Structures are given as structure tokens and as C-alpha cells.
Amino acid sequence: MEVLSVASEVFPLIKTGGLADVAGALPAALKPHGVRMRTLMPGYPVVMQKVKKPQKVGGFTNLFGHPASILAVDHQGLDLLVLDAPELFDRDGGPYVDKRGLDYTDNFRRFAALSLAAAEIAAGLLPSWKPDLVHVHDWQAALTPVYMRFGPAHGMPVVLTIHNIAFQGQFGPEVFPQLALPPEAFSVNFVEYFGDVGFLKGGLQTANAITTVSPSYAQEILTAQFGMGFDGLLTARLSHLSGIVNGIDTDVWNPQTDPHIAANYGPTTLKKREINRKALSEHFGFDNAPGPIFCVVSRLTWQKGMDVLAEVIDDIVDNGGKLAVLGSGDASLESAFLTAAARHPGRVGMVTGYNEPLSHLMQAGADAILIPSRFEPCGLTQLYGLRYGCVPIVAHTGGLADTIIDANEAALAARVATGFQFSPVSAASLRQALRRAFAAYRQPKVWARLQAQGMKSDVSWDLSAHRYADLYSSLLAKG
Ligand code: ADP
């Protein structure tokens, strides 16, 4: 089966969040299931610099006013189709925002171009290859099934995966005439959304199957609280919606071979974690006092519950714990953590920015990872935590609820517990979870059992890749 995946970021070429990890890992995970997945992505400058020996396999003389090429590239086993459209993607800033952190004003055009290119590939643009099915990710690729509906690829199945329904790709009605869609596409059945143009909206209406990245999140987005305006639409399309939990790339995230950590270790050599703990402590300037090290690797946002975490920092320190934060995001949250670090030298440390190698050392050296998200479609850092023996302390929501087994007495006795869950997301309930974590940490055998159980969890793509392959097969069987 030949599948075209369409994503605006793909690890290891470019990543701002979990979407990149998933888009980067899924092709290899699907290979054993007889799926050949090629991935279409934009040719941002970092992508163009990293790819070797690109081969032009197709192109456009006029893609939204400019010429563009499709380049085929093999990058570390990833079978990529890069949309090389310099007018749209050769920019100084990030994939979505300029150097000042502001959205590019032509994002609608940039990602409409990605979607239109995907639809054209589905329709046979490339002389050498045509997919049987298209799998698109998030709003940036969500116009693909809309273009397909009004073009020659009409009828080819499309799967749309929502990685975070908070990001919807909504633009004013004035962009519609610039999208090269027929006038009837500006209706409630397609992209029209309360008078605006909704990219995700159009995708949700037209995809043959909608998936999201955990079963709990698939349920949650049917409610007004989590659906962010799409609960009604999704309820109407319920029979097309399912949740498939993300796996992680167990080669990239393997404490036994990880090149970014101070000492490699596995389930039988957990003592070596101590070397990573020391390296982490040095990095964050921690003192030698005993007590658990909690870490955070996250976007610093309201969604991630970082304001709630900021409220309990003093409690962590008062109880003898330490906190290492790696992240960037809202200026007020960044400054809350920096202020806490200044208030508690040797106990609280903060590294601002995005640092992939350090994120590995954090999982290998900290005792626990804190993830107090208000909503979390899947979450990946708790899965890395499981694999690295860094015990996850998580809010009971979305994928966090699906992947962590709370250390209540029954689960501890049955030896299945892998972490701590709390609900609701408030300082009081996070404090309560921390109290339980401190108590478990004081009992080395209990803590070691939590770590061991977590490291045994299957966080690979095996099961989930199977589910995606089954979904593709069922869609193709429907004809
Ligand atoms: P989201 O996609 O909502 O940001 P996920 O947990 O699904 O959250 O994925 C976040 C990914 O980004 C993980 O791979 C995590 O390790 C990584 N990450 C987040 N912040 C940083 C950071 N400051 N430095 C390095 N990696 C980070």
C-alpha cells in the first residue's frame, strides 16, 4: 500500500512539537505492515540545508503565483517529498512565525500550497509515483481533502489526524478567493466557519477518517470544554472518529544507546542513572542535598499547566526536592521560573530555549517528570519518562490518562503502577500528587518498582502502527 503523509514538520529535520516526532516515526513503524509511506513537507531553509542529493520529480510553473518543485530525498531512511517553494518557505524565522514570534501573514497561502501540492500528487502529478491513500496532519495539511474533493483525486481516501485541536488554522473570509477553491467550497459543509475560513474545519468535514492521538482525547473533544468549537461537528462525524495513541521512536529514545546522555543504562543497570543525575545537577547548578529531582521539558503555556506548576515550586523546595525546567513560551511563565531559580539557588534551575540533547539528559537524570497539562492530546514526554525510568507525574487528561497507571495502593500491590495522576489541574491537587511522590521516593524499593514497571511499558509504535495500517486497509476496502 502506498501512502502519502503530509506534515508541516518532520523530525529530525524540523520540530516544534510532538507532530514532528509522529510524522518522523510513523513511516518506519508502518513498513512492517506493508505500507510504504512517503512524506510531503515544506522546504524550509533548515530542510534544504540538511537534505542531500535532492532529485526533482515534479513541479508547478505557478503555485499561488510562483514556481515550485517537488524534490525526492532519502533522509536517514525517511522517504521525503520536499515542496521547494522559496517564495513561501525560504524565511528567516521558524516554520510558522517570524523572528519576532509573529505569525507570517501569508500562512494561509503557505499551507494552502502544501495542501494543494499534496492533492496534485494524489491526482498523479509525479510521473513515477501515485499514492493509494493520503494521511494529513493538523490544520497545515487539512485543506488537502478539500482540494481533492474538487479535483481529479476525488474519491481517494484521506485520513486526517488531529494532534491538537486548539490549533485550527482560521483566517478571515478575504483569504478565500486566494485559495483556488471553487465558490461552493465556502459553505458550512466545507471551509466556511462562522463566516471565516477554517482549514481544520474543511479537513474535518471532508476527510474519510479522523483520528486523534489518544482514545481519551477522542472522547474529550466531543465536549464543549475540550472541543474548542468543533464538538458539534465531531459528534456529527462520530462514526469516522477514533483515537490511536502515539508511540515513540525507541531507537532515538533508548537509554542504552542514547548519545546525548552521560552514561547509558538499561533496566538491569539503573544504578548508572546516578551519573546522569550528577551531570544534570551540574548543568542546573544544583547542590548535593538529597531528595528527588523533578524535571519539566515543555512549551511554557497555559495548556501545559505551567502556571499551576509555578505555584507549587516553593512546596517542592520546602519538601527537599529540586526542580529543573527546560522550556520556552509565554514570557510571564518564563520569568516566573527564572525568578524561582533566583529565589532558590542550588534547588531550582531553568534553561530557556529549545535543546534536544539536554531534553534527553533530563529524562535520564531526573527522578520524575512533571506534566500538569490542562489538556494533552497524547503527550510524548511521559512516554520518554517511562522508557528512561523518570517517573511521570501527570494530569488525568487525554493521552496522559491513557498511558500512565496511577500508583494507588491496588496498582502498587499488583505491580502495574508507572507514575502518578492527579485531577483537577490545580495547585492543591498537584501538591497532593507531589506528596505521594515524595512518600514513594522515600521508599527506594517502591520507587525502583515504579521505574522498572515504567521501563517495561510498551511505548513503541508497534501496536499503534498496526491500528493505522488496519484503518488504511478498511478505508481502501470500502473503495
Ligand atoms: P506538544 O507537541 O504539545 O508540545 P508533546 O509532549 O506531544 O507536546 O511533544 C513535545 C515534544 O517537544 C517532545 O518531544 C519534547 O521532548 C519536546 N520539547 C518540548 N520542549 C522542549 C525544549 N525546550 N527542548 C527540547 N525539546 C522540547
Residue 125 has pLDDT above 80, yes or no: yes
Calculate how far, in angstroms, residue 446's C-alpha sits from the geometric centre of ligand 1.
29
Q: Is the dihedral of CA 273, 274, 276, 281 positive or negative?
A: positive
Q: What is the pLDDT of residues 220-230, one digit of tens each?
A: 999 999 999 99
Probe target for ligand 1 pocket from 354, 359, 369, with the most ligand atoms within 8 Å of CB: 359
Percentage with pLDDT > 70 across the chain: 100
Give the CA angle between residues 193, 66, 97 to the nearest 5°: 55
Indicate which residue's Cα is closest to atom 15 of ligand 1.
Answer: 381
pLDDT at 479: 74
pLDDT at 17: 87
Q: Which atom of ligand 1 is nearest to the CA of 304?
A: 3
Q: What SS3 class is residue 130?
A: coil
Residue 202 CB partners (closer than 8 Å, separation 6+): 142, 143, 145, 146, 185, 190, 191
pLDDT at 233: 97
Rounded mean pLDDT of the chain?
A: 97
Mean pLDDT of 128-154: 98
Pocket flag, ligand 1, residue 379 (CB < 6 Å): yes
Indicate which residue's Cα is closest to atom 22 of ligand 1.
Answer: 354
Is there a contact between 95 and 71 (Cβ–Cβ < 8 Å)? Answer: no
Q: What is the DSSP pairing of strand 170-171 with strand 192-193? A: unpaired
pLDDT band for 103, please (50, 70, 90 cuts): very high
Mean pLDDT of 221-243: 97
Calculate how far, in angstroms, residue 20's C-alpha sits from the geometric centre of ligand 1.
10
pLDDT at 428: 98
Calculate how far, in angstroms, residue 379's C-alpha sits from the geometric centre of ligand 1.
8
Pocket flag, ligand 1, residue 45 (CB < 6 Å): no
Probe target for ligand 1 pocket from 162, 360, 374, 380, with the most ligand atoms within 8 Å of CB: 380
Region for 155 from its dihedrals, namely left if φ exceeds 0, alpha if ψ lies in -120 to 50, beta otherwise? left
Q: Which atom of ligand 1 is nearest to the CA of 353?
A: 23
Describe the crossing of helices 427-441 and 306-318 by its angle, rounded to 10 degrees: 40
Q: Which atom of ligand 1 is nearest to the CA of 17?
A: 2
Q: What is the DSSP pairing of strand 192-193 with strand 2-6? A: unpaired
pLDDT band for 334, please (50, 70, 90 cuts): very high
Pocket flag, ligand 1, residue 357 (CB < 6 Å): no
What is the number of other CB atoms lying within 10 angstroms of the CB of residue 210? 24
- Which alpha helices (H) appear in 296-426, and where do they start and end? 306-318, 331-343, 356-365, 381-388, 398-403, 409-413
Indicate which residue's Cα is closest to atom 20 of ligand 1.
Answer: 298
Calculate how far, in angstroms, residue 333's C-alpha sits from the geometric centre of ligand 1.
16
Pocket flag, ligand 1, residue 301 (CB < 6 Å): no
Q: Which atom of ligand 1 is nearest to the CA of 19?
A: 2
Q: Which atom of ligand 1 is nearest to the CA of 384?
A: 16
Q: What is the pLDDT of residues 13-25, one digit of tens each?
A: 999 988 999 999 9
Q: Which atom of ligand 1 is nearest to the CA of 326?
A: 23
pLDDT at 85: 98
Pocket flag, ligand 1, residue 150 (CB < 6 Å): no
Probe target for ligand 1 pocket from 9, 354, 383, with the most ligand atoms within 8 Å of CB: 354
pLDDT band for 186, please (50, 70, 90 cuts): very high
Is there a contact between 165 and 200 (Cβ–Cβ < 8 Å)? Answer: yes
Calculate how far, in angstroms, residue 177's C-alpha sits from the geometric centre of ligand 1.
36
Residue 195 has pLDDT above 90, yes or no: yes
Pocket flag, ligand 1, residue 328 (CB < 6 Å): yes
pLDDT band for 324, please (50, 70, 90 cuts): very high
Pocket flag, ligand 1, residue 403 (CB < 6 Å): no
Question: Could you check whether the bond before residue 267 is cis, i.e. omega within 30 degrees of 0?
Answer: no
Q: How far apart are CA 328 and CA 320, in angstroms?
A: 26
Pocket flag, ligand 1, residue 12 (CB < 6 Å): no
Q: Which atom of ligand 1 is nearest to the CA of 378?
A: 7
Pocket flag, ligand 1, residue 327 (CB < 6 Å): yes
